[in-house]
Amino acid sequence: MVCLARVDATARSLDMQGTMRLLAGLVLAALVFGAAGCGRAEPTEPAPAADEPAEPVSGEPVGPVWQEQVSGVGDKLTDVTFVDALVGWAVGGDSRGVILGTTDGGDTWSEVYSHDRYEFEAVHFIDPLIGWAVHQFDGESDIVKTADGGQTWTKQTSGAIRSANDIFFADADHGWIVTTAGQIWATADGGDSWVQQESGVEGLTSHLYDLHFVDAQTGWAVGWDGDGAIVATTDGGATWTRQDPTVEFLKAIFFADAQNGWASGNDGVVVTTDGGRSWSAQDAGRRTLEDVFFTDAQNGWVVGAGSIVLSTVDGGATWDQERDGGAGTSILYGAHFVDAETGWVVGADGVILHFGIPAGADD
């Protein structure tokens, strides 16, 4: 009887152990299957590499940026002008004169005119067909004119014995040039004939570098005659009056309207809000700035040595640095903008920079 009881107890013990092992196996299987199922239900994508920029959200606006265009020349480019976002010209040269043209916003540039002696200093167009460019007098002429968008150019002569530095036309007839020796010459027939006007800063050591008119009567010219010089006219140049810029050696001037203007040079930027009766310095740094351009009374740019580009959106109350190549990089000489988001800058070594929305950004 004792032996049978022991056998029965042993059997029950073995049966209980088997049951426990079976339950443990079922629990383990459930856990493994559940983990695998969760993995399939919630897949995760690998994180992007740290050095890969996130793609812009679809539909996110893309702002204008600076990009270099291929000019096709290695010459110094001194000035640029556009009549719209597609059609423009750039001029310059090194021991020769060259005029470049584009009809696609600068995606392609080609030589439309050249001569073998003096570089072109400035170019001005009043519409897609009619324009002028100036260079140092070569014994025959110092101006060339086109009436067909730059396909052909004819020579004109101002009569100035000093090198022309800039040219500006208020319309198809009325134009002016400024020269070394502080001279101003004017035409009332599209450049066929020119007469000298009394600038008040004439002299062998004086220079006028740039001029700007807002209409056929109202304009300004800037330069140097021992001090920074600004002269203004309200009668088409019949009389010019000296203004006090408060700085030395001015190289460029631009007016957004008859009251709001800026001038730049070796000491930065000065501004007027009363047509030039008073001028004050702006905080653009003491650096050489070769050109200034505004699209309205608020949005403007200055360019110069070291490939510097400064911009303002508040009339010059503050200037922000957009580009700076540093010492040894190309000097930027000329700028032109058709609106606050589209413009071009030219400089030494054939440099052309375009400011605008990148191609394909709106696709």
CA distance 154 to 151: 10
User: In the predicted model, is pLDDT for residue 296 greater than 80?
Assistant: yes
Q: Of the ranges 104-113, 160-169, 232-241, which one carries the lowest mean pLDDT score?
A: 160-169
CATH code: domain 65-356 is 2.130.10.10
pLDDT given for residue 363 in this prediction: 54
> Residue 203 — very low, low, confident or very high, per pLDDT cuts 50/70/90?
confident
78 vs 331: CA distance, rounded Å: 10
The mean pLDDT value for 201-219 works out to 93
* pLDDT band per the 50, 70, 90 thresholds, residue 287: confident
pLDDT greater than 90 at residue 107: yes
More confident site: 247 or 169: 169
pLDDT value of position 362:
58
Question: Would you place residue 2 in the very low, low, confident or very high pLDDT band (cuts 50, 70, 90)?
Answer: very low
Phi/psi at 96 (5° precision): -165, 175
For the chain, the average pLDDT equals: 85
pLDDT at position 20: 41
| Closest C-alpha among 223, 243, 247 to residue 233 | 243
Q: Kindly report, residue by residue over 341-350, the tens digit of the pLDDT.
A: 999 999 999 9
**Residue 46: band (very low, low, confident or very high) from pLDDT cuts 50, 70, 90:** very low
Asked whether 133 and 114 are in contact (CB, 8 A), the reply is no
Q: Is the pLDDT of residue 300 over 70?
A: yes
What backbone torsions phi and psi does residue 76 show, to the nearest 5 degrees? -65, 130
Tell me which of 208-212, 236-240, 242-246, 355-359 is least confident.
Answer: 242-246
Q: What is the rounded distance in angstroms from the CA atom of residue 116 to the CA atom of residue 96?
A: 5
What is the pLDDT at residue 113? 97
118-127 pLDDT per residue, tens? 999 999 999 9
Whether 36 shows a pLDDT value over 70: the answer reads: no
Q: What percent of the chain has pLDDT over 70?
A: 82
